[in-house]
Structure 1
Amino acid sequence: MKIQINTDKNIEGHERLATYFSEELEKGLARFEEKITRIEVHFGDENGEKFSLNDKKCVIEVRVANLQPLTVTDHSDTLEKAFSGALAKAKKSLTTTFEKQKSF
Protein backbone atom coordinates (compact mmCIF):
# COMPACT_ATOMS: atom_id res chain seq x y z
CA MET A 1 0.00 0.00 0.00
CA LYS A 2 1.63 3.19 -1.21
CA ILE A 3 0.76 6.43 0.62
CA GLN A 4 1.28 9.90 -0.82
CA ILE A 5 0.71 13.09 1.20
CA ASN A 6 0.13 16.37 -0.67
CA THR A 7 -0.34 19.89 0.69
CA ASP A 8 -1.36 23.13 -0.95
CA LYS A 9 0.81 26.26 -0.88
CA ASN A 10 -0.75 27.43 2.41
CA ILE A 11 0.38 24.39 4.41
CA GLU A 12 3.97 23.45 5.06
CA GLY A 13 4.49 19.79 4.23
CA HIS A 14 6.97 18.74 6.90
CA GLU A 15 8.40 15.24 6.92
CA ARG A 16 7.03 14.78 10.44
CA LEU A 17 3.53 15.66 9.23
CA ALA A 18 3.76 13.12 6.40
CA THR A 19 5.11 10.43 8.73
CA TYR A 20 2.39 10.97 11.33
CA PHE A 21 -0.50 10.89 8.86
CA SER A 22 0.98 7.89 6.98
CA GLU A 23 1.21 5.92 10.23
CA GLU A 24 -2.37 6.84 11.15
CA LEU A 25 -3.60 5.69 7.73
CA GLU A 26 -1.75 2.39 8.02
CA LYS A 27 -3.26 1.75 11.47
CA GLY A 28 -6.74 2.95 10.54
CA LEU A 29 -7.01 1.01 7.29
CA ALA A 30 -4.94 -2.04 8.29
CA ARG A 31 -7.80 -4.48 7.78
CA PHE A 32 -8.13 -3.40 4.15
CA GLU A 33 -4.39 -3.23 3.34
CA GLU A 34 -4.39 -6.31 1.09
CA LYS A 35 -7.05 -4.74 -1.14
CA ILE A 36 -5.69 -1.17 -1.24
CA THR A 37 -3.02 -0.37 -3.79
CA ARG A 38 -2.54 3.34 -3.13
CA ILE A 39 -3.76 6.19 -0.93
CA GLU A 40 -3.43 9.88 -1.74
CA VAL A 41 -4.10 12.51 0.91
CA HIS A 42 -4.55 16.16 -0.03
CA PHE A 43 -4.48 18.84 2.66
CA GLY A 44 -5.59 22.38 1.98
CA ASP A 45 -6.28 25.65 3.74
CA GLU A 46 -9.08 27.25 1.77
CA ASN A 47 -8.63 30.76 3.18
CA GLY A 48 -4.85 30.94 3.38
CA GLU A 49 -3.77 33.53 5.94
CA LYS A 50 -7.32 34.54 6.85
CA PHE A 51 -9.00 32.87 9.81
CA SER A 52 -12.23 31.02 9.24
CA LEU A 53 -14.04 28.14 10.86
CA ASN A 54 -13.70 24.84 9.06
CA ASP A 55 -11.27 26.18 6.47
CA LYS A 56 -8.89 23.21 6.66
CA LYS A 57 -9.69 20.48 4.17
CA CYS A 58 -8.57 16.87 3.92
CA VAL A 59 -9.33 14.76 0.86
CA ILE A 60 -8.43 11.07 0.98
CA GLU A 61 -8.46 9.08 -2.24
CA VAL A 62 -8.21 5.33 -1.80
CA ARG A 63 -7.40 3.18 -4.79
CA VAL A 64 -8.64 -0.36 -4.43
CA ALA A 65 -7.60 -3.17 -6.73
CA ASN A 66 -10.20 -3.78 -9.47
CA LEU A 67 -12.54 -1.01 -8.26
CA GLN A 68 -13.07 2.68 -8.91
CA PRO A 69 -11.15 5.03 -6.59
CA LEU A 70 -13.01 6.01 -3.44
CA THR A 71 -12.75 9.68 -2.45
CA VAL A 72 -13.84 11.31 0.81
CA THR A 73 -13.55 14.90 2.02
CA ASP A 74 -13.80 16.52 5.43
CA HIS A 75 -13.53 20.14 6.60
CA SER A 76 -12.58 21.29 10.09
CA ASP A 77 -10.73 24.01 11.99
CA THR A 78 -7.51 21.93 12.23
CA LEU A 79 -5.74 19.54 9.87
CA GLU A 80 -5.87 16.78 12.47
CA LYS A 81 -9.64 17.01 12.88
CA ALA A 82 -10.18 17.17 9.13
CA PHE A 83 -7.93 14.13 8.69
CA SER A 84 -9.75 12.17 11.43
CA GLY A 85 -13.12 12.95 9.87
CA ALA A 86 -11.96 11.95 6.39
CA LEU A 87 -10.36 8.75 7.72
CA ALA A 88 -13.60 7.79 9.49
CA LYS A 89 -15.54 8.38 6.26
CA ALA A 90 -13.01 6.29 4.29
CA LYS A 91 -13.30 3.39 6.75
CA LYS A 92 -17.08 3.48 6.57
CA SER A 93 -17.10 3.63 2.76
CA LEU A 94 -14.60 0.78 2.43
CA THR A 95 -16.55 -1.35 4.90
CA THR A 96 -19.78 -0.75 2.97
CA THR A 97 -18.10 -1.44 -0.38
CA PHE A 98 -16.61 -4.76 0.72
CA GLU A 99 -19.77 -5.88 2.49
CA LYS A 100 -21.74 -5.27 -0.71
CA GLN A 101 -19.20 -7.35 -2.65
CA LYS A 102 -19.64 -10.25 -0.22
CA SER A 103 -23.40 -10.25 -0.72
CA PHE A 104 -23.11 -10.81 -4.48
Structure 2
Amino acid sequence: MGEAALAAVGRERRVVLTMPVFSGVYNIVSQSDLIAIIPHQLAKRMAPRAGFEIYEPPMPIARVQICMVWHKRADATPAHRWLREQIATLMAPLDDDGAGAARQS
Protein backbone atom coordinates (compact mmCIF):
# COMPACT_ATOMS: atom_id res chain seq x y z
CA MET A 1 0.00 0.00 0.00
CA GLY A 2 2.75 2.49 0.80
CA GLU A 3 5.63 1.24 -1.36
CA ALA A 4 4.95 3.57 -4.30
CA ALA A 5 4.47 6.57 -2.01
CA LEU A 6 7.74 5.88 -0.23
CA ALA A 7 9.58 5.29 -3.50
CA ALA A 8 8.37 8.68 -4.76
CA VAL A 9 10.28 10.36 -1.90
CA GLY A 10 13.35 8.13 -2.23
CA ARG A 11 12.59 5.80 0.67
CA GLU A 12 11.70 2.15 1.02
CA ARG A 13 9.86 0.01 3.53
CA ARG A 14 11.63 -2.13 6.06
CA VAL A 15 9.19 -4.96 6.66
CA VAL A 16 9.43 -6.47 10.12
CA LEU A 17 6.31 -8.63 9.94
CA THR A 18 3.25 -9.22 7.81
CA MET A 19 -0.23 -10.09 8.98
CA PRO A 20 -3.32 -11.23 7.07
CA VAL A 21 -5.72 -8.88 8.92
CA PHE A 22 -5.60 -5.25 10.04
CA SER A 23 -6.68 -6.14 13.59
CA GLY A 24 -3.42 -7.99 14.07
CA VAL A 25 -1.50 -5.02 12.68
CA TYR A 26 -2.98 -2.40 15.00
CA ASN A 27 -2.68 -4.70 18.01
CA ILE A 28 1.04 -5.26 17.35
CA VAL A 29 1.69 -1.58 16.60
CA SER A 30 -0.08 -0.49 19.79
CA GLN A 31 2.31 -2.65 21.84
CA SER A 32 5.59 -1.83 20.09
CA ASP A 33 7.68 0.90 18.49
CA LEU A 34 6.57 -0.16 14.99
CA ILE A 35 4.50 1.90 12.57
CA ALA A 36 1.98 0.79 9.97
CA ILE A 37 -0.29 2.18 7.30
CA ILE A 38 -3.89 1.07 7.88
CA PRO A 39 -7.21 2.44 6.61
CA HIS A 40 -7.95 5.79 8.27
CA GLN A 41 -11.53 4.87 9.16
CA LEU A 42 -10.31 1.77 10.99
CA ALA A 43 -7.57 3.72 12.77
CA LYS A 44 -10.06 6.37 13.98
CA ARG A 45 -12.34 3.70 15.37
CA MET A 46 -9.69 1.52 17.01
CA ALA A 47 -7.14 4.06 18.32
CA PRO A 48 -9.02 4.84 21.56
CA ARG A 49 -9.58 1.15 22.26
CA ALA A 50 -6.12 -0.15 21.26
CA GLY A 51 -4.17 2.85 22.54
CA PHE A 52 -2.24 4.02 19.50
CA GLU A 53 -1.73 7.46 17.97
CA ILE A 54 -2.79 8.44 14.45
CA TYR A 55 -0.52 10.54 12.24
CA GLU A 56 -0.96 11.60 8.65
CA PRO A 57 1.73 10.08 6.40
CA PRO A 58 4.35 12.59 5.29
CA MET A 59 3.69 11.80 1.62
CA PRO A 60 0.59 11.29 -0.50
CA ILE A 61 -0.70 7.72 -0.60
CA ALA A 62 -2.99 6.47 -3.35
CA ARG A 63 -6.47 5.39 -2.31
CA VAL A 64 -7.14 1.67 -2.31
CA GLN A 65 -10.27 0.51 -4.06
CA ILE A 66 -12.24 -2.33 -2.49
CA CYS A 67 -14.61 -4.13 -4.81
CA MET A 68 -16.81 -7.20 -4.85
CA VAL A 69 -16.52 -9.86 -7.49
CA TRP A 70 -18.74 -12.84 -8.16
CA HIS A 71 -19.36 -15.47 -10.79
CA LYS A 72 -21.89 -14.46 -13.45
CA ARG A 73 -24.12 -17.44 -12.62
CA ALA A 74 -24.78 -15.87 -9.19
CA ASP A 75 -25.64 -12.47 -10.65
CA ALA A 76 -29.42 -12.98 -10.68
CA THR A 77 -29.66 -15.29 -7.67
CA PRO A 78 -31.92 -13.51 -5.13
CA ALA A 79 -29.96 -14.66 -2.08
CA HIS A 80 -26.64 -13.67 -3.63
CA ARG A 81 -28.01 -10.30 -4.72
CA TRP A 82 -29.32 -9.73 -1.19
CA LEU A 83 -25.90 -10.57 0.29
CA ARG A 84 -24.14 -8.17 -2.09
CA GLU A 85 -26.59 -5.41 -1.16
CA GLN A 86 -25.96 -6.04 2.56
CA ILE A 87 -22.20 -5.87 2.07
CA ALA A 88 -22.49 -2.66 0.01
CA THR A 89 -24.70 -1.08 2.68
CA LEU A 90 -22.29 -2.03 5.48
CA MET A 91 -19.25 -0.79 3.57
CA ALA A 92 -20.76 2.51 2.32
CA PRO A 93 -19.99 4.48 5.52
CA LEU A 94 -16.30 3.62 5.13
CA ASP A 95 -16.15 5.51 1.84
CA ASP A 96 -14.79 8.98 2.67
CA ASP A 97 -16.29 10.67 -0.38
CA GLY A 98 -19.77 9.25 0.19
CA ALA A 99 -19.91 7.39 -3.14
CA GLY A 100 -19.98 4.09 -1.25
CA ALA A 101 -22.71 2.16 -3.04
CA ALA A 102 -21.35 -0.86 -4.86
CA ARG A 103 -22.39 -1.16 -8.46
CA GLN A 104 -24.62 -4.13 -9.15
CA SER A 105 -24.05 -5.58 -12.61
* TM-score, normalization by structure 2: 0.25
Higher strand share: 1
